[in-house]
Structure formats: C-alpha cells, structure tokens
Chain A
Amino acid sequence: MSKQQEKRPLLEARDVSEVFGGLKAVSDFNFHINKGELVGLIGPNGAGKTTVFNLFTGVYQPTTGEIRLDGRSLTGKRPYQITQMGIARTFQNIRLFSELTVLDNVKIAFHNHVKYNVLEAVLRVGRYYAEEERIEAQSLRLLDIFHLKDKAGELAKNLPYGAQRRLEIARALAAGPKLLLLDEPAAGMNPQETQELMEMIRWIRKEFGLTVLLIEHDMSLVMGICERIYVLEYGMVIASGTPEEVQKDPEVIRAYLGGE
C-alpha cells in the first residue's frame, strides 16, 4: 500500500470521456503525469487536446471516468477550487484581462495567496500595505522573468502577440501551481520566439519545481523538450511514450503524415 502511494502520480485520468451532443470529443482517455515531469500532449487540430485541459481544470465535467490530483477526485469541483488545489493553465485563445494593466493581470492571479480580508482592504489597515507590497514585488519578479517588466504599466490588450502569450504564463505561475498546463503556448510565435519560450519553460520548471503539461500541435517542437508524450487523434490516445518511441510509432506517422 505504502509503495503504491509513493508511486501515485500527481495527476491521473481514468477512462475519461467527454461527449458534446453527439460528438465524442474525448474517449476512454487514460493519462498520468508524475511530479516533476514535463509531458507533451500532441495531436492534429480538433483532436480533443483543449477539451482535455478543460476537463482537468473543471471547465467541463467528464461524461464518464474520473480525474484525480494527488489522489483527490476533481469530480464536481469548480475551476477556482481546482486552481486552489494546485493546477494553473494558459489558454490557446488568449484570455487576458485585456483592459487591465500587465501588472494587474498578474496580481489578480495571487488571489488565493493574499492575506488580508475585505475589511482590512477597505479601511487600509492591518496587513493591507505589507501584503500589497509583497504581491507587487512578486508580480514584478514574474514579469521580469518573462521580459515583461518594462511593460508593467501598459494595458494587456496593447501588448504584441508573443508578449501576451508570455503574460498568460506569468499569470498562471502567480496562482502558485504544482501543475502547469500550457495550451499551445508557442502558437503564432516566430521560430526564434518559440525557441526562447521553450528555454523559458525549461527554466521555470526547474526554478519553481513545477510539473508541466504542454499542448502543441507541431510535433517537432515538443520532441526536444518533453520527457513523455501522449498523441491524441479523434479524442483517443493513439500512442504514448518517450519522444523516440512516439516518433517511430506507425499510427503516429500515419496520423501526422496523412497516410492511410
């Protein structure tokens, strides 16, 4: 029993399916990620990758099956509760707080780590000033890591595309996750930006002791960085394993090269 607990994955999905009307977006999905791993989830457009993230974060509830974080079931949990339990994410279609400043975008994500109450905030007494100062300093540090400190006072909507994607990651980190889910973080970036981003992901993972799950539809990109990869097609896992194993898999070659 104790041995089993030691090996317990950080996040685990068992026989998870998600049905939208008649469409089975995800079927019999089995998945696990261990603490500290960097895992990729790849597959063609419409394969169900984002749906998997929405299931992991409580945006959707699984039609069947169960998802567990640290052994605790996520069934029935709302997204904010799952964030409190230690999962943070970014969005493929960027969802920043666009009319707010870059700094405020990050500050908001410290929501569950702020130690003053409404009364202290309104009366500006007690821990208010000290906590505001701490949050601001930590937010600026995160922005610095993602080369956004110079833009702290700018509105998020005015950032260039690549910077918006980086801000999404900075914001997710501010939520203090154990597990970070990145949904196509390099989409729309040029090759040099992508390369820098992958370096950054590697670095923050070490620096923050994170477990990272990365969605990408460009296979070559994840090959270099991920330790394990799941390949999704039509909502089903068609292959999983190390990048080398997956690359050689005939099913994967067929799915990606379009062979019959």
Chain B
Amino acid sequence: MFKGMKYLRKNDAIMLGFAIVLFAVLQGLVTGRVLSSFWQLNVLIIGINIIMAVSLNLINGYTGQFSLGHAGFMAVGAYVGVVLTTNFHAPFVVALLAGGAAAAFLGVLIGIPTLRLSGDYLAIATLGLGEIIRIVIMNIEYVGGAAGFKGIPHLTNLAWVFWVTVIALFFIKNFVNAQPGRACLAIRENEIAAESMGVNTTKYKVMAFAIGAGFAGIAGGLFAHCFYLISPASFTFMASFNYLIMVVMGGMGSITGSIAGAFVVTFLSAALASWPEFRMIIYALALIFLMFYRPQGLFGYMEITNMGPFRKIFGRPQAQKLKGGKADE
C-alpha cells in the first residue's frame, strides 16, 4: 500500500540491524573485560553525550533557537531520577521517564516566555535560566545542597544507555523528517515565511524546546545513575557549553554530526582528563580552526545516509529519484 515511502522502512530496518550488531560488539567488549573500567564509563558517557548533543541540536540546529542552558534540564532529570530511585525505590525506567517529563515540563514553562526573544537575547536568557536551576538545586537541603546527593544505586549500564540513545536518535530523526520537524526547519530558515505558510511558530519552538529538554532530562537520569554521588557542580554553564561545542563541531542540523561531535569531545576530555587546562586550550583551538575552515561544522546539514556509498543503501529507489539534488532522508 505504501509503495512509495517503503524505502524509509527499509532504511529504518538497516539502521536497527546495525545498532543490534554494534550493541553486541560493545557488550562483548564489556563482558570480556577488554575495556578498562575507565573506558567502560566513557562508553556510557559517550552515549549520554550523544543524547545531550542531538537533543540540543533539535533546538539550536534544526529550529534555530540558540539555547545555552541544556545542562539545567539535565540536572532536573538527574535529581528527579535519583530521588525516585534512592528515596522511593522506583524502577529505573520510571525514574528516567519522570525525570524526562519534569525537564520537558520545565522546558515548556521556560520556553513560552523566553522563546519570544531572538538570537543573543535568547542565548543569554537560557544561560541565566540554566544557572538558576542549578542554584535552586544547590539550595534544596532535601537533595543534599551543594555537597551533592549521595547513595545513588548504580543502575546505568551499557544496555540502558545504548538503547535509550537509539530511541533518542530514531525519535529525533523521525521528528525532523515529518511535518512537525519541517515546521521547525521552516522557523530556522525564515520565521516570517514559516508563519505565513500556516506554521504556529510559537507552538513549534516550544515543542522543539520541550522535546530537547525532555531528552536532556532522560540523559540526566542515565548520567546520575553511573555514580554514587552527583552534585550541582556537574551541571554548570561549562557543561552546557560543552554540549554546544559538540553540536557546533558536528554541524548544526545534522544528527550524524551530533554523534561525531559527542565522540570527539568525549574522547578529547577523557584523553586529556589529567590536564584540564590543556583541554580548554585544545577546545578553543579546535573551534577557531573549525570556524575558519568549516564554519558549518564537520557535517554541515548532511547526514551519513546521503553521503558517498551510503547513498546507494539509504537513498530513494531509482524510480523516485528527485532531479537536481541529493536530498533524501
């Protein structure tokens, strides 16, 4: 019945197959203790950072709304999650979903007034709000204040991180390749024209913001349950900036780019863990270099599925090829 769009289903199946193989390999490396515990933790952090980068990309890259407070939403998800698992013995999945829902709800609350602002003003407002969230948490005695929340059960493992990451990637890929996502792209490209084509720009900005915040909340829950203790210091402005670097480095508006950005930044951080000052210098140099030679980021607006040999696998069937371009999913 859906002959024309069937290639999308085939693509999804191929990607899912690839994910299963990749998971098997990673799980093998973990179970076989090939990876040291330091690198095992870093594999988890890469997954969490991919969720953070791709969800921030939905807001910044696809919808064009410059948000600088992503770590704040992560903190909300982390704290809601740890309170639920540690104090109320809730199942992990409930804690993750509740953390995501709380962050998404806060995203809506914050988004409605702030998304009227544009460009630099929005960046400053979200930066401030991210810090406010952190400072509020710091002053809640119930969650340990500045000293942090202790006694968190170690619930996060490779399977959780991997499959939540896969869900996040599919969610955002499918969203941007459908009408609601196209509405977001239209807002990024030209807000007045988007509105004139019937797009309720406020609604879709808030929607993108809420989805982004929701996934940041879920990532926060995964992050918190990697450790015995979390503290507000993990969710500073510098953390938000870190996620922004991943998005900018990979390409604003490319999921492939966000994955690559999360990889590069996490590896750099891990490799340079003993020299934190050095790390910042390398970041700065890498960004300057990128802005000069590839301001659109490593991938620009491109996805791996429409590059080189992958186009043959993921592209449209011959009969449906669009003339004049390279635009597929």
- A interface residues, Cβ below 8 angstroms from B: 57, 59, 78-80, 83-84, 88-89, 91, 95-104, 107-112, 114, 116, 118, 121-124, 128-130, 132-133, 135-137, 149-155, 171-172, 174-175
Contacts and interface: CB of A to CB of B under 8 A. Distances in A.
Contact residues of B: prevailing secondary structure: helix
B182 A104 contact: yes
A104 B181 CA distance: 11
Contacts of A130: 1-2
B16 to A, nearest CB: 12
A130 B6 CA distance: 10
A152 B324 contact: yes
B198 A124 contact: no
Contacts of B198: 80, 83-84, 109, 111-112, 175
Contacts of A175: 197-198
Q: Of A59, A103, A112, A129, which is in contact with the most chain B CB atoms at under 10 Å from its CB?
A: A129
Given A95-B193, A100-B189, A129-B2, A121 B324 contact: no
B182 A108 contact: yes
Given A101-B327, A150-B323, A150-B324, A80 B178 contact: no
Interface string B103-119: 00000000000000000
Instruction: Sort A-B residue pairs by CB-CB distance and give the 8 closest, nearest first.
Output: A153-B325, A153-B322, A121-B178, A97-B189, A129-B2, A83-B198, A95-B193, A154-B324
B4 interface: yes
B195 A122 contact: no
B175 interface: yes
A239 to B, nearest CB: 29
A172 B186 CA distance: 14
A95 B190 CA distance: 7
B322 A152 contact: yes
Contact residues of A: prevailing secondary structure: helix
Nearest to A115: B179
A172 B198 CA distance: 10
Interface stretch (B91-99, B151-159, B199-207): B199-207
B174 A124 contact: yes
18 contacts: A79-B192, A80-B198, A83-B195, A95-B193, A97-B193, A100-B185, A100-B186, A101-B325, A102-B325, A118-B178, A118-B207, A121-B178, A128-B178, A136-B4, A149-B323, A153-B324, A172-B197, A175-B198
Interface residues of B, number: 40
Interface in B296-329: 301, 321-327
Contacts of B174: 121-124
Nearest to B1: A130
Nearest to A133: B4
Contacts of B185: 97, 100, 104, 108
Nearest to A121: B178
Nearest to A159: B324
Interface string B1-39: 110111011001000000000000000000000000000
B194 to A, nearest CB: 7
Nearest to A104: B182
A101 B301 CA distance: 12
A8 to B, nearest CB: 24
B216 to A, nearest CB: 17
Contacts of B87: none
A197 B9 CA distance: 40
Q: Of A108, A135, A153, which is in contact with the most chain B CB atoms at under 10 Å from its CB?
A: A108
Contact of A89 (B2, B196, B199): B196
B183 interface: yes
Given A100-B185, A152-B324, A153-B326, A57 B196 contact: yes
Contacts of A153: 321-327
Contacts of B295: none
Given A124-B174, A151-B324, A88 B179 contact: no
A114 B327 CA distance: 21
A104 B327 contact: yes
A52 B301 CA distance: 37
B305 to A, nearest CB: 15
Nearest to A113: B198
A102 B324 contact: yes
